[in-house]
Chain A
Amino acid sequence: MNDQPFFSALQKIYPKDRLLTQGVQLLAYESDALTSFQAKPTAVVIPETQEEAIETVRLCHQFGVPFVARGSGTSLSGGSLPIKDGIVIALNRLNHIKKLDPDQRIAVVEPGVVNLHISQAADRYNLYYAPDPSSQPVCTIGGNVAFNSGGAHCLKYGMTSNHILGLKVVLADGEVVEFGSESLEGVGVGPDLIGLFVGSEGLFGIALEITVRLLPKPELYRTVLAAYNDLETAGNAVAMVVASGLLPGAMEIMDRLAIKAAESGVDAGYPENAAALLIVELEGEAEQVETEFEEIMEVIKESGAYEVRVAKDAEQRLQIWKGRKGAFSSVGRLSPDYIVQDGVVPRSHLGKALAEIDRLSQEYGLDVANVFHAGDGNLHPLILFNGREPGALEHAEELAGKILKMCVDLGGSITGEHGVGMEKRRYMPAMFSEVDLETMKAIRRQIDPKEISNRGKMFPGGEAPALKMTGMHPLEAQGIISRE
């Protein structure tokens, strides 16, 4: 980039160690957790105050330089992928918990605060921050807000958006707006601006200060692990639990391959030879949970499980969750590469969807491990491939695309929690009409007239881009990203 005035202006804000421009320094920022996309930014800035971040956005707007906000870079959809000729605004040092008020059950935090750190800080008041993405020890609340991230325990109390009460944001053209409050009611008067901002994938600007609600820690957990001889029976068990009228805090399924991965990765000690495992967890006030537990055990008994285990203490509970939470990284041990999708299907179609994934897996000759949020129909098929084989990524991508189309055809969604980002842009038209997409773009342009904030994400490009590790990536061809 030959934007000397822009750079001089940045240099006035940042000392050398917080304005990175050298190749090696930039390496860490070239991609997010979707590593098949890589792009080198022109610079990375590391603000330490909100004012610095605001000034930076204003300069970007003034000079028309695109920027990508970045938390911990764990996005699975290419959301925090840098933009060619653009800068990365790394928010990890804006990581102060500014307020934690147990009397009102809220915390006010900066965007770089790590998700789990909020719960750790709230622990001494017997409170916690509920949304628990598996990446919670590293991912930031800013990234969670951008993607409306979820987790295993979002069945009862919802996703990130359901836990955000107030926001201070700098919009892409430099205006700073605050909305919402410390009230549980959030915005409460006028359109729900928090609802609009959360999940906007960084396309509107940067969240600088976030008021979150905290929940009292459940008094009692009852965690049940049930083993099944086939995946469909496990899927049907979910439907039975849902139909029973009980409301578990979490309901998760892992299939044979995912179990194998969990065993080799973290020594989970799950029942041997299971084709599918179902984890059901009840949580809440002790007396209510104990009564629900009796009922749920009846349901599980009827569901055809060949082995049922109940966690007797906190340690056994953690052991059950260890395999589930570590499943993604464990799959990495089974295969050199994998892609993960997170389409959603109506819960009553889970069995059908899993059977179809199995069929597709055979058709494509690729292993697919399934580990997913069964309670809300949010699939996480992990498609295993070897990226060193020519054409393997495209082949896996094609299979992924078929799975997403199936989700839409069944009345679901292309993404439950990982967001559209760079990766699923081309599937947006399967879900939304041209008018829907044009309308979203029109809103974006009112907020970001120069389209500098996370340019190129979420909306399909002029031509349908494909993921390619060989040859020129279509986005490179369009000049949006580049490799060096």
Chain B
Amino acid sequence: MSLQPTTLEELQEMITANRSLLPVGGGTKPALSAASNGATRLDMSRLSGLIEYEPGEYTFTAYAGTPVRDIVAALAEHGQYLPFDPPLVERGATLGGVVAANTAGSGRYRYGGVRDFIIGVRFVDGRSQLVRGGGKVVKNAAGFDLPKFMVGSAGRFGAFVDLSFKVFPEPRAYVTLKAVFPGLGPALGAISSLFTAPNEMDVLDLEPLADGRFSLIARLGGLSSALPGRIERLQSFLYAKTEAVSHEVIQAEADAALWQQVNAFAWAGDGLCLVKVPISPKRIPLLENVVHGLAPRRRYTAGGNIAWLAVSDIDSLDAVLNTVNLPGVVLFGPPGRPFIGPRPGVSLARRVKQALDPSGKFLEI
């Protein structure tokens, strides 16, 4: 079954009259948005549109069903952007879906993820009440930080009506540098050297290559006149301080095209499940050991702090993640069981669930 509210009042009525609801945006992350086991889809796409955007203020408020594509376009007109780099923009990801799934792309390395830019939320909870948390200004310490809490909440606590964000000026130009390392150890060594170096990067991705080597992909953004010098400096750093064996500089359209593909998870190919696993760089060797047979394609973003695993079998990955004690969330894959591996802190999440949705209008957390 599927419901499609067009107004706030309709949304409230639908929540009152139904249960086992799953709010859905653009459906670009099917493991989170396809309804299974008798769940009812709550299609939020009609509550859409930019409500408020004051370029001088670097903040906006939009209905949760707004396609991120529209927001990106509106911001770009004023040289602004979403620094957390939400993925699947071209496929139709909505703002609400990005928050509920907590998806941030490679660009989150520099300034942070969804949680670091959301400033306000209005949602209808399981008691059909319209609740607001946060506000519309970039700094605000009043009340519990419900906007942040909602990041990653997967529609388990209510349906978002609208969301407020702060944004940043977009770097005026970008250049990408791709360096190849003989193996994982040297590549991770390079990441740790870069961590304490003065070089600033917008992206720092790690990609396993078919032959067992790894490439490190750094994207630098900033003022065009400073970029050539900065990229040269990064090159010299890599050759002087790390075991880089070769490199390639990617600019202009090629740079834009590369990151558009990464944004669409093109590297993951078709037909595989896609899972996000927060990790720290030092645990990557452990994960690589246990998943390389299971996950034919992998990518690490945010300087080795997020693993994206394309796997064929979620159950086996679940088991493996439990053995290495790393939680994961499924984006592409069979619906109904998005959270795999251990669930740290879930007892606290359940207490909040009890407050916001005591009668289980939304799915279990």
For A428-442 the 0/1 string (1 means CB < 8 A from B) is 100111011101101
| Interface contact A345-B198, CB-CB below 8 Å | no
Q: Which of B244-252, B309-317, B341-349 touches A?
A: B341-349
| Interface contact B339-A412, CB-CB below 8 Å | no
Taking the complex as formed, is B140 at the interface, i.e. its CB lies under 8 A from any CB of chain A? yes
Query: Closest Cβ of chain B: how far from A114's Cβ, in Å?
Result: 21
A424's nearest neighbour on chain B, judged by CB, is: B142
Q: Could you say which of B136, B138, B352, B355 contacts A376, with CB atoms under 8 Å apart?
A: B138
| Interface contact A435-B129, CB-CB below 8 Å | yes
For B333-363 the 0/1 string (1 means CB < 8 A from A) is 0000001010111111101101110000000
Which residues of chain B from 85 to 110 have a CB within 8 Å of any chain A CB? 102, 109
Q: Which of B13-21, B143-151, B211-219 touches A?
A: B143-151
Distance of A159 Cα from B306 Cα, bound (Å): 22
| Interface contact B141-A199, CB-CB below 8 Å | yes
A290's nearest neighbour on chain B, judged by CB, is: B226
Distance of A346 Cα from B125 Cα, bound (Å): 28
A345's nearest neighbour on chain B, judged by CB, is: B137
Taking the complex as formed, is B239 at the interface, i.e. its CB lies under 8 A from any CB of chain A? no
Taking the complex as formed, is B112 at the interface, i.e. its CB lies under 8 A from any CB of chain A? yes
Taking the complex as formed, is B280 at the interface, i.e. its CB lies under 8 A from any CB of chain A? yes
| Interface contact B144-A440, CB-CB below 8 Å | yes
Q: Could you say which of B145, B169, B199, B200 contacts A161, with CB atoms under 8 Å apart?
A: B145
Given contacts A287-B230, A439-B125, contact A192 B348 (CB under 8 A): no
CB-CB under 8 A from A43, the residues of chain B are none
Taking the complex as formed, is B130 at the interface, i.e. its CB lies under 8 A from any CB of chain A? yes
Taking the complex as formed, is A154 at the interface, i.e. its CB lies under 8 A from any CB of chain B? yes
A181's nearest neighbour on chain B, judged by CB, is: B278
Q: Could you say which of A178, A191, A347, A348 contacts B156, with CB atoms under 8 Å apart?
A: A191
CB-CB under 8 A from A101, the residues of chain B are 282
Q: Could you say which of B79, B156, B282, B305 contacts A184, with CB atoms under 8 Å apart?
A: B305
| Interface contact A416-B140, CB-CB below 8 Å | yes
Q: Could you say which of A105, A180, A185 contacts B306, with CB atoms under 8 Å apart?
A: A185
Taking the complex as formed, is B319 at the interface, i.e. its CB lies under 8 A from any CB of chain A? no
Which residues of chain A from 51 to 68 have a CB within 8 Å of any chain B CB? none
CB-CB under 8 A from B322, the residues of chain A are none
CB-CB under 8 A from A219, the residues of chain B are 198
Distance of A458 Cα from B222 Cα, bound (Å): 42
Query: Closest Cβ of chain A: how far from B256's Cβ, in Å?
Result: 19
| Interface contact B138-A377, CB-CB below 8 Å | yes
Distance of A447 Cα from B352 Cα, bound (Å): 8
Given contacts A177-B347, A188-B152, contact A348 B56 (CB under 8 A): yes
| Interface contact B112-A162, CB-CB below 8 Å | yes
B59's nearest neighbour on chain A, judged by CB, is: A346
Given contacts A184-B305, A190-B346, A442-B355, contact A436 B139 (CB under 8 A): no
| Interface contact A288-B149, CB-CB below 8 Å | no
Q: Could you say which of A125, A285, A418, A458 contacts B200, with CB atoms under 8 Å apart?
A: A285
Distance of A345 Cα from B54 Cα, bound (Å): 14
| Interface contact A414-B142, CB-CB below 8 Å | yes
Taking the complex as formed, is B26 at the interface, i.e. its CB lies under 8 A from any CB of chain A? no
CB-CB under 8 A from A346, the residues of chain B are 54, 57, 59, 136-137
Distance of A345 Cα from B199 Cα, bound (Å): 34
Distance of A442 Cα from B144 Cα, bound (Å): 12
Taking the complex as formed, is A157 at the interface, i.e. its CB lies under 8 A from any CB of chain B? yes
| Interface contact B125-A191, CB-CB below 8 Å | no
| Interface contact B282-A104, CB-CB below 8 Å | yes
For A195-234 the 0/1 string (1 means CB < 8 A from B) is 1101110000000000000001011000000000000000
| Interface contact A428-B142, CB-CB below 8 Å | yes
Given contacts A161-B148, A287-B229, A446-B355, contact A239 B56 (CB under 8 A): yes
A431's nearest neighbour on chain B, judged by CB, is: B142
- Interface size bracket, B side: 35 or more
| Interface contact A246-B169, CB-CB below 8 Å | yes
Which residues of chain B from 4 to 46 have a CB within 8 Å of any chain A CB? none
Distance of A403 Cα from B305 Cα, bound (Å): 43
| Interface contact B140-A193, CB-CB below 8 Å | no
| Interface contact A413-B149, CB-CB below 8 Å | no
| Interface contact B197-A183, CB-CB below 8 Å | no
Q: Could you say which of B152, B172, B197, B281 contacts A103, with CB atoms under 8 Å apart?
A: B281
Taking the complex as formed, is A411 at the interface, i.e. its CB lies under 8 A from any CB of chain B? yes
CB-CB under 8 A from B327, the residues of chain A are 188-190
Distance of A192 Cα from B153 Cα, bound (Å): 7
CB-CB under 8 A from A235, the residues of chain B are none
CB-CB under 8 A from B172, the residues of chain A are 245
Taking the complex as formed, is B133 at the interface, i.e. its CB lies under 8 A from any CB of chain A? yes
| Interface contact B129-A439, CB-CB below 8 Å | yes
Taking the complex as formed, is B289 at the interface, i.e. its CB lies under 8 A from any CB of chain A? no
Query: Closest Cβ of chain A: how far from B338's Cβ, in Å?
Result: 9
Query: Closest Cβ of chain B: how far from A178's Cβ, in Å?
Result: 6
Taking the complex as formed, is A265 at the interface, i.e. its CB lies under 8 A from any CB of chain B? no
CB-CB under 8 A from A147, the residues of chain B are 141
Taking the complex as formed, is A186 at the interface, i.e. its CB lies under 8 A from any CB of chain B? yes
The 9 A-B pairs of least Cβ separation, nearest first, read A195-B148, A179-B345, A188-B278, A219-B198, A185-B278, A184-B305, A245-B169, A103-B192, A442-B355
What are 25 A-B pairs at a CB distance below 8 A?
A102-B195, A104-B192, A104-B195, A104-B282, A148-B141, A157-B112, A158-B116, A162-B112, A178-B344, A178-B345, A179-B344, A184-B109, A195-B145, A196-B148, A196-B348, A198-B145, A216-B195, A247-B169, A346-B54, A348-B57, A439-B356, A443-B351, A445-B355, A446-B354, A446-B355
Known: A195-B148, A345-B137, A412-B137. 7 other contacts (CB 8 A): A189-B276, A199-B144, A218-B198, A285-B230, A416-B139, A420-B141, A431-B135
Binding site for A on B (CB under 8 A): 54, 56-59, 79, 102, 109, 111-113, 115-116, 125, 129-133, 135-154, 156-157, 168-169, 172, 192, 195-200, 222-223, 225-226, 229-230, 233, 276-282, 302-303, 305-306, 327-329, 339, 341, 343-349, 351-352, 354-356, 365
